[in-house]
Every structure is written in structure tokens, then in C-alpha cells.
Amino acid sequence: MATMRLDIVTAEKLVYSDEVSSVVAPGAEGQLGILPNHAPLLTSLKPGELKVSKEGEETNIAVSGGFLEVLKNVVTILADTAERAEDIDVERAEAALKRAQEKVNSSESDLDLERAIRALKRSQARVFVSKRKRSSKVK
Ligand code: ATP
């Protein structure tokens, strides 16, 4: 089966690097599906779920934004943050989500609403990816 190389990196570490058969990413303009030998592409990502398929196995990764490049059958994702589903501390993500919701709903005069919304979206993506992984394990 045709494959392509996928590298997911953050400023902190290499999160994923392997030959894969497909990638579904949360593109800024909507969900983006990438198969081997895709045309060159550079796009930004929004917070959400990355789904990586390799030999019939799916890996789920939460990203908080970044860039995705496709060039010569290599997909490179430069993510602001990225965590594999099994590495997500769901309690931490839920606590961050609650804090962010409280901020967004607060009437603080010096509230940085954009920052609060970014935190909300990051934590929502983490909660979503970690819970989905758990429910797919039960099946
Ligand atoms: P928190 O308020 O819980 O720190 P945050 O959204 O402010 O959440 P970030 O600044 O996006 O956190 O991330 C800081 C680092 O912590 C990154 O390396 C990120 O991958 C990691 N991280 C953040 N939340 C989680 C989580 N729930 N589980 C695992 N790693 C996390």
C-alpha cells in the first residue's frame, strides 16, 4: 500500500515520525484529508484532532494549532502543542476547560477574551481526543 512520511513536531519535541497511509487534520478552512502523493500544500491548523492511519491502526493526536506542509510525499506538521490521546491528562484538560469557560463568561474589565477563547479551544480539543480514544477502546 502507498505510504507517505509524517513528522509532527513542536518547539519542545518530535511527537510523531513514521510512514503512514492517511492523515486527517483540522485545517483552518475545514477538515483536511491527505493521502500519499498529495499535491504540494501549506496551510494553517486550528485546535482539534489529528487522525493518523498506519496499517489499519488509527492514532489520535490533539493539536492546538500550527502549520501543515505537504511536499514530495512528506507531511510536516509544526504544531503549537501536540499530544497523543494516551498522553493527555484528561483531568488537567477538564480543569483548563472549566477555567477557560469561567473566563469567557466573566465580566472582568481587563479580560483578554481572545486568549481565553484560545485556551478554551485547546482544552476542548484535548478533552475530545482523550475521551474518543477511551470510548473506541471499549468497543
Ligand atoms: P494548562 O492550563 O493545563 O497548562 P494550557 O492549554 O495552558 O493548559 P499549553 O500552554 O497549551 O497548556 O501547553 C503547555 C504544555 O503542556 C505543552 O507541552 C502541552 O503539550 C502540555 N499539555 C497541556 N495540557 C495537557 C494535558 N491535558 N495533558 C497532557 N499534556 C498537556
Question: What structural domains does the chain harbor?
Answer: 4-85 (2.60.15.10), 89-138 (1.20.5.440)
Atom 2 (ligand 1) nearest CA? 96
Q: Percent of the chain scored above 70 by pLDDT?
A: 95
CB 130 within 8 A of CB 60: no
Give the ligand 1 atom nearest the CA of 83.
20
Q: Which residues contact 138 (CB under 8 A, 6 or more apart)?
A: none
**Eight-class DSSP state of 38:** P
Atom 7 (ligand 1) nearest CA? 119
Between the CA of 47 and the centroid of ligand 1 the distance, in Å, is 13
Q: Which residues contact 18 (CB under 8 A, 6 or more apart)?
A: 5, 6, 54
Q: Could you report the per-residue pLDDT of 68-106, keeping only the tens digit for each?
A: 999 999 999 999 999 999 999 999 999 999 999 999 999
Q: Which residues of the chain have pLDDT under 70?
A: 133-139
Please tell me the predicted confidence (pLDDT) of residue 107.
87
> C-alpha cell of 12?
519542545
Please tell me the predicted confidence (pLDDT) of residue 132.
79
CA atoms of 43 and 109, how far apart (whole Å): 35
Across the strands, what pairs with 112?
A: none
CB 25 within 8 A of CB 42: no
Atom 8 (ligand 1) nearest CA? 96
Mutate to test the pocket of ligand 1, among 61, 92, 123 (most ligand atoms within 8 A of CB): 92
Place of cell 509544526: 78
Please tell me the predicted confidence (pLDDT) of residue 108.
86
